[in-house]
Chain A
Amino acid sequence: MIYRQCFHRDSPAGKGRGIAAILFAILIPCLTMPSCVKLFVEPKPELPNAAPTTTLSNLPATYDTLSPLVSLYWDGHDNDGFVVAFQYQYTTYPMGKSAGDSVVHDWVTTDQHWGAITFSSPDPLNRQVFRVRSIDNSGNTDPTPAERVFYTLQTIAPVTRILSPTTGTEFYAVPQTNYWFPGVVVTISSQVPWSPNPALQGSSIIQFAWSADNGALNWVPVEDSVVTITPQNFKSPLTGTHTIHVTSRSNTLMLDSVGATITVKLVQPTFQKDIVILDDTQTDVSLRNVPKTSIDSFYVAIFGYGKPYTIDVRDLQTRAFPSRTILGSYKLAIWHHDDGNVPFYMGNDVAIKTIDDYLHVGGSLIICGTRSWEHWLPPADPTYGLPHPFMFQPGSFIRDYLHIDAGDQSAFLGSFSGATGVGGFSSVEVDTSKMNSGFPQYGKPGWVSVVAQKGPFTRELLTFKDDDPHATGLPCAIRYYGDTYNITWLGFPMWALKYNDARTLAQQIMQSMGF
């Protein structure tokens, strides 16, 4: 039934479908004709690749006045590709009284959408014209860069200094650092010069940088104004002159382009020789005017007894204190001061600093002689003006290196007839024929130094056995067992001892110190 109705010629539905068929027959050719025609028409040329466009964010605002460090954000768009990079550039127009020439800065390429740029600001006020343009994947650049005009205030670059060490300073250095020798310690200082212009005030340093021998800069926070440069940072060979350069950066990212540079001389100890005897004795009536050579020979004999050591003698009065290069060629330095005279050549700052350094890198030291404390106390503090016992402050050579916290001294009248050995060390006796038999020595050393309170890692070797209000029973010789260096200190002259006693003591000390 339905089938019939659909195809009945005279029905209304049948008439409508006939009209539709006619229209369809007309419409299809009309619609397809242009396409068919197009197949036979020349195509239009391809449109050229369009350049990308660039936009800047709304901050900073146009004509704003800012500090030179400005952060800018940008974006790019490309209708027929995509943006691969940006280029920015700015022109500075100084606006001070001098109104110097404008400066056009080069384009800088970046793939970032932002930049923190320190704008050149030579005058108190500077007009900056900043431009940024996009680059698309076809290499086209935006012909109309986004532009922003604003003003920047002047800032001043920081000025960096090295407070210590001073140029030309000499150091001992070894390839491997230790507790005592961490490297070359450099103290840096920097500040932004003050300006009467309020706009220029308020800058602060945020970073220091150091480099050794023109190596790469090592940036550290401003809190680390004391930096330690390890031997690995210096070029080989370690022995020789090296440069240390420092610079700094302010919170406006102004960099000290000059910085400060010093040269230091590093000396790597060789320890090729065995022993150097540092003679600090002034012979006089107290020693019966015995020739200094006799005293030196005595020390060579007792310390070199039975061993093939190479022993050199250096008279500090005539040849001064040895340089680091010379001292560093010996494994052990023996310093002796047998008379009661002052001053002492080893007491000066240069000698002490050299000895400190020598110990830091593994040297060994034996010290013997009277009036020990007066070598290293400040001139204003002679021992006779100090209370008994004398407390030595941290930072002093006696406390930090000899490891003696408090000391005392026997009377200047000779009262030291010998010392009692402790813990395997032999007792010793004085040879009264070596000392002045009259006043004040009476054949014995006076001003013998003793230890009232010893420091860590020390042990007593001998104790003062005679009757003295400040010295009886106290150690007059101690040994420091260091992890890097060793020291034996004796508060009396070994020259005054009987030869065999002195020789036995010397051998025991040498054995204790690993020789």
Chain B
Amino acid sequence: MQMSAEYGRHVMPCSLLLILSCVLAIAGCSDDYKIVGVGSQGPGILQVIMKSDDADSILVIAGDSARVTEGSGDSLALSVSQGRAFRGADYATLYGSLQDYLQLIKTYNPIRKQSGTYQSLLLFQSYLPPANYDSLTFELNASYLQIGYYQIPLSPVQGAGDFVTFIQSFRIEEGRTTVVTLHVKPLSSLVRVGDSFQYSWIFDLVQITYP
């Protein structure tokens, strides 16, 4: 009996301590991305939208010209990938949508018209840590252009890379959305070289809103 009492005096507090630890651990594991009590902020959302200039709709081809027509098969096959928002040397990866967990190559048509205007393209929509960012970069390349009667291969200007970079400050706030709108001139960006067009993208405006 003396042994049991002794045993009880030592074992019972240890058992209670163990149980308490487990409870705390389980409680801690209940939310795998929030560390309660540390004071860390929740993420904000960054949307990167590309909008083609509506005035840029005519392509002059030697003695002929072609106009982007609504409802036609006019297409500029644009591939977008590898988005990053930079803060100094650090960067956050940009995904195509809030559900994406991989960086995918997505294809867009920046010369698709609806109701007389080019459609806006949502290139990236991604959770980002709240901070002040100073630049945005992503890969932007095109393979061919179909406009009017013409199908024309596209390639980057010789010596130029496929990445575009925007040196533009913007901030991400917890629980809020930041929208970066890039205005591009899709047809004016093309220069004819022999039997193909080479592109060097012309962005004439970068707009940042905090709706």
A residues at B contact (CB < 8 Å): 179-180, 403, 422-423, 454-460, 481-483, 486, 512-514
Contacts and interface: CB of A to CB of B under 8 A. Distances in A.
B101 interface: no
B152 A481 contact: no
A455 B150 CA distance: 9
Contacts of A403: 195
Contacts, number: 40
A254 B196 CA distance: 44
Interface in B162-211: 192-196
A422 B149 CA distance: 10
B32 interface: no
Nearest to A178: B194
Given A423-B149, A456-B151, A456-B153, A481 B61 contact: yes
Contacts of B194: 179-180, 483
Contacts of A454: 151
Contacts of B150: 456-459
Contact of B63 (A179, A422, A423, A486): A486
B64 interface: yes
Contacts of B62: 457, 481-483, 486
17 contacts: A180-B194, A422-B149, A455-B195, A456-B152, A456-B196, A457-B62, A457-B152, A457-B195, A459-B64, A460-B149, A481-B62, A481-B64, A483-B62, A483-B192, A486-B63, A513-B63, A514-B63
Interface of B: 61-64, 148-153, 192-196
Contacts of B193: 179
A239 to B, nearest CB: 26
A179 B195 CA distance: 9
B195 A456 contact: yes
A459 B65 CA distance: 11
A179 B194 CA distance: 6
Contacts of A481: 61-64
Contacts of B196: 456
Contacts of A179: 193-194
Given A481-B61, A512-B63, 7 more contacts: A179-B194, A456-B153, A457-B62, A458-B150, A459-B149, A459-B150, A486-B63
A414 to B, nearest CB: 29
Closest 6 CB pairs of A and B: A459-B149, A481-B62, A179-B194, A456-B152, A456-B195, A481-B61
A481 B151 CA distance: 12
A486 B151 CA distance: 17
A403 B64 CA distance: 17
Looking at chain A's contact residues, the main secondary structure is loop
Contacts of A455: 195
Task: From B61, B62, B150, B192, name the one whose CB has the most chain A CB atoms within 10 angstroms.
Answer: B62
A403 B151 CA distance: 11
A412 B119 CA distance: 49
Contact of B148 (A456, A459, A483, A514): A459
Contacts of B151: 454, 456
Task: From A403, A455, A457, A460, name the one whose CB has the most chain B CB atoms within 10 angstroms.
Answer: A457
A512 B63 CA distance: 7
A208 B167 CA distance: 46
Nearest to B144: A456
A483 B191 CA distance: 11
Nearest to A479: B64
Nearest to A514: B63
A399 to B, nearest CB: 10
A150 B48 CA distance: 74
A401 to B, nearest CB: 10
Contacts of B149: 422-423, 458-460
Contacts of A512: 63-64
B70 to A, nearest CB: 18
Contacts of A423: 149
A456 B194 CA distance: 10
A458 to B, nearest CB: 7
A513 B149 CA distance: 17
Nearest to B197: A456
Nearest to A481: B62
Nearest to B194: A179
A455 B149 CA distance: 11
Nearest to B195: A456
Nearest to B61: A481
A109 B62 CA distance: 61
A513 B152 CA distance: 20
A180 B193 CA distance: 10
B23 to A, nearest CB: 70
Contacts of A458: 149-150
Task: From A179, A481, A482, name the one whose CB has the most chain B CB atoms within 10 angstroms.
Answer: A481
B82 to A, nearest CB: 28
Contacts of B64: 459, 481, 512
A455 B195 CA distance: 9
A356 to B, nearest CB: 14
A488 to B, nearest CB: 12
A335 B150 CA distance: 25
Contacts of B152: 456-457
A15 B211 CA distance: 115
B88 to A, nearest CB: 41
A221 B133 CA distance: 47
B154 to A, nearest CB: 10
Nearest to B196: A456
A512 B61 CA distance: 12
B61 A457 contact: yes
Nearest to B154: A456
A122 B62 CA distance: 62
B143 to A, nearest CB: 13
Contacts of A459: 64, 148-150
A422 B148 CA distance: 12
Task: From A180, A403, A455, A456, name the one whose CB has the most chain B CB atoms within 10 angstroms.
Answer: A456
A180 B194 CA distance: 7
A335 B149 CA distance: 25
Contacts of A456: 150-153, 195-196
Nearest to B64: A481
Nearest to B66: A459
B126 to A, nearest CB: 37
Nearest to B62: A481
Contacts of A180: 194
A456 B143 CA distance: 13
